[in-house]
Amino acid sequence: MANLWSGRFEKGMDKIVEEFNASIRFDKRLYDCDIDGSIAHIIMLCEEGIATEEEKNKIIETLNEIKKEIESGKIEFSVHDEDIHMAVEGILIQRLGDIGKKLHTARSRNDQVAVDTRLYVKKEIGLIIDNLKYMEHVLLEKAEKYHDEIMIGFTHMQHAQPVTIGFHLMAYFQMFKRDIERFMDSLVRTDYCPLGSCALAGTTIPINRHRTAEILGFNNVTENAMDSVSDRDYVLELMSASSICMMHISRFAEEFVYWNSQEFGYISIDDSFCTGSSIMPQKKNPDMAELLRGKVGRVYGNLFQLMTVMKGTPLAYNKDFQEDKEGLFDTIDTLKNSLLIFAKMIEKTEFETENIKKQLNKGFLNATDIAEHFVKMKIPFREAHEIVGKMVKYCEVNQKDFIDLTDEELNSIDNRLSKSTFPDLSMEGCINGRVSFGGTAPSEVKRQIGVGKAWLDEIV
């Protein structure tokens, strides 16, 4: 069958050009969105008296048949089909003749691809959010289990202060919570129907774009036809939100990698999420965590690829926009799989609390607690900070810990110090004292978990 746009041309496309131009090998993924858009369009055309009831019924029946045949593998596409829009319409015309030719009234491939992509993005945002919710449920469950188990909090990869495992996990809960909010927010701007904008300037045919939007489940219609066909902001927003989410996954995966090492020994990852070595029989490698850490690169790349495509495109539609699909599909697939795999891995990972406790006596984790205690003794914080710094230096030189210092040694550092001026320096004492809102005290972590559960229940 000749191209549906070939009337003005005397020559067919060169074979290599035809292959280079075709997007069917990847945009066939939009077949269901494309058919749904066509069904909504013909219903609207019929309601406006532009197509008859019989024509509408035949077109809808045939489109549903084509959809089933695509899903069953009976229809195979080739570069001659060019794209999914031309492929479906071409089959429709082959089967219905002149009736099929009426479907493309008051629309263009420009607004057709825009509505297909928006429908696809809307659906996939919902699935991404579902996977994020699963991640959040897993984190809440683990945080509750370890809400009072002590671990080391780091800054600059140096021992900083004691925290609880539950507290650390709830930090990631908050990151993924913001990811969910970002996707929900981007959905608001995606939920506009561009169909009926035609090539760039609308149409003289009396159509009802609001009715088409209603049939397709859009919240509203796009306001400007030229913007409608040239806008890819919603794809960029999804890619941006996906990049941030993948960055959160990568950060957490990085911690899994070093927590799993012999030097740390903080966690035990289930065998089903690890691999071995082809030469070293003793190895148990955290390959899934490493892969998750690395996957962020391709998602970043997809975002910057489309940003680069869009930056030099004048209004309205340009063929450059065809380059939005492969990166979009890859981003969505990568993010959904990464979230699901990581959530399952976290679910089957346990913390080695006894190993962690062996590390708690390193790095003067309770130094800040002493300084804050001195503040309660009416010593200005900067002065208290300096005093504790001198205590740390003395302990390092003399290979001692705070609790080993005698009254005489303390008095030599500052004449206001004695053992009696010390607070509870146990890790439990340090943890339990941090009850400030958002702090690491077990009671505060339990509050955070409760708030997290309530929020998650609200968005289900």
Which residues are catalytically annotated?
Answer: 156, 277
DSSP 203-221: -SS---HHHHHHHHT-SEE
- How far apart CA 166 and CA 334 sit, in angstroms, is 28
Angstrom distances, CA of residue 369 to CA of 69, 160, 275, 386, 392: 69, 11, 42, 14, 13
Q: Are 10 and 181 in contact (CB under 8 A)?
A: no
350 — phi, psi (to 5°)?
Answer: -120, 150
Q: Are 423 and 370 in contact (CB under 8 A)?
A: yes
382-396 in b/e form (b: 16+ CB < 10 A) is: eebbebbeebeebbe
- How far apart CA 408 and CA 392 sit, in angstroms, is 16
- How far apart CA 111 and CA 209 sit, in angstroms, is 12
Q: Are 422 and 402 in contact (CB under 8 A)?
A: yes
Residue 353 burial (CB count, 10 A): 13
